[in-house]
Amino acid sequence: MAISIKLDDLLHDNRMTLTELAERVDITIANLSILKTGKAKAIRFSTLEAICKELQCQPGDLLTFEDAKDNETP
């Protein structure tokens, strides 16, 4: 089971840099980078809300669930 973050895709679609998003949502570039690379263990709803507001997306556009069973070979 894994939650993946599609922040790169959304940034590209919105023609926005990680630095610009960090400034707009008032989060450090380092913390946003941890989220982008999938190394984050948690995200605050207020952060998720701010990111979605700036990228004009829904949480489901940013976060996806991938079941480990789907990736296993028989």
List, for residues 18-64, the tens digit of each pLDDT value: 999 999 999 999 999 999 998 999 999 999 999 999 999 999 999 99
What per-residue confidence (pLDDT) applies to 68?
72
**Residue 71: what pLDDT?**
57
Distances (CA, A) of 12 to 16, 32, 33, 45, 46: 6, 15, 15, 23, 22
Cα gap 26→32, rounded to integer Å: 10
Q: What is the pLDDT of residue 70?
A: 59
Residue 68 is inside which H or E element, if any? helix 68-71
What's residue 13's pLDDT? Answer: 95
pLDDT at 1 over 60: no
- Identify the burial level of 54 via C-beta atoms within 10 angstroms of its C-beta, where 0-12 means exposed, 13-18 middle and 19 or more buried: middle
List of domains in the chain: 3-68 (1.10.260.40)
